[in-house]
Amino acid sequence: AAGAGGGGGGTSGLKKQSYKITGDPHCPDGAPNSAVKMTCSRSNFRAAGWKEEDFRKPIVTIAAPYSNSMPCNNQFRDLADILAEEIERLGGKAHLAITPVISDGQTQGTKAMRYSLVSREVITDCIELMHEGYCADAIISLGGCDKSVPAA
């Protein structure tokens, strides 16, 4: 089966939640979540580079706790970009959720340790905020350390 955006991955069945933010072309113009009612949202997506066909694709969040300062997560930006390319190839619309991440090993014995201890909750909150805030249809989470694995 062809994907929602013409790709070959069969993603068309995933598009359920994101109509709430991209507009549902099946709704009458004045109805809640119609494409007309979501014009402001759609204009912002267009300003970010979306094309008309992207509004019919399921939005897939890629949650990537990332820092270029620690070895267990410093490759996640590159991995997120690879995943985004694959999601797009398969007919979805990738939505990156890059979160902060703090290392116990690097902050151990310093005042900065107090930030590491709460970072799991912050990572989780960031992922939820980006996924739910954009009414995404699916999520892929990356994790690579004792903070990002349980959080993601």
Q: Phi and psi of 134, rounded to 5°?
A: -110, 15
Residue that has been written with the tokens 């993603």 in this structure: 11
Residue-by-residue pLDDT tens, the chain, 152 positions: 334 444 445 566 899 999 999 999 899 998 999 999 999 999 999 999 999 999 999 999 999 999 999 888 899 999 999 999 999 999 999 999 999 998 888 888 999 989 988 999 999 999 999 999 999 999 999 998 877 887 77
Distances (CA, A) of 115 to 25, 72, 99, 110, 112: 45, 18, 14, 10, 6
Residue 32 CB neighbour total at 10 angstroms = 9
The pLDDT value recorded for residue 5 is: 44
The pLDDT value recorded for residue 117 is: 82
The pLDDT value recorded for residue 38 is: 94
The pLDDT value recorded for residue 6 is: 43
CA distance 147 to 126: 13
For the record, the structure tokens of 86 come out as 């694959």
